[in-house]
Amino acid sequence: MRSGYEERRKHPRYEVGKAIYIELISRDGRSEADNTIIRCNTLDISVGGLRIWVPDAVPAGCAVNIAVPAEEWKENLELAGKVMWVKAADTGTGFWVGLELEDTTRENMEKWFKVVQLMKGDR
């Protein structure tokens, strides 16, 4: 049986396990230095989003900055996104989180599309 989030997917997903970082954007006007940064792992990716594992729950609807460490680039690939859903992981620890990507710059989105294509080939 498929869950609701799988049925709404617009893009094919590819299983990829990679460490990334997300920064939770605070809505209360605090400075950027006060935002929480979390190391997490990707479970699957697509050109439009990611499913990640995080150790602690994050708020649904929260805006996030996503840093994808990449060997090909000297700097992290930085993307913007939104937490669409949060679910306790079946593994018994942590949470699965669905992130929807929002356009950052055209250049960053083009790099992300290339990352997805490269990772698709690594499966």
Q: Write the DSSP assignment of the chain as a string of letters.
A: ---HHHHT--S--EE---EEEEEEPPSS---GGGSEEEEEEEEEE-SSEEEEEESS---TT-EEEEEE--TTSSS-EEEEEEEEEEEE-TTSSSEEEEEEEE---HHHHHHHHHHHHHHHHH-
Is the pTM higher than 0.85? The answer reads no
Mean pLDDT for all residues in the chain: 81
Question: How far is it, in rounded angstroms, from Cα 80 to Cα 122?
Answer: 25
Q: Using the predicted structure, report yes or no on whether residue 123 has a pLDDT greater than 60.
A: no
List, for residues 63-122, the tens digit of each pLDDT value: 999 998 866 546 778 899 999 999 999 988 999 999 999 877 888 888 888 878 776 655
Please report the domains of the chain, with CATH numbers, ordered by start residue: 4-122 (2.40.10.220)
Question: How far is it, in rounded angstroms, from Cα 25 to Cα 43?
Answer: 22
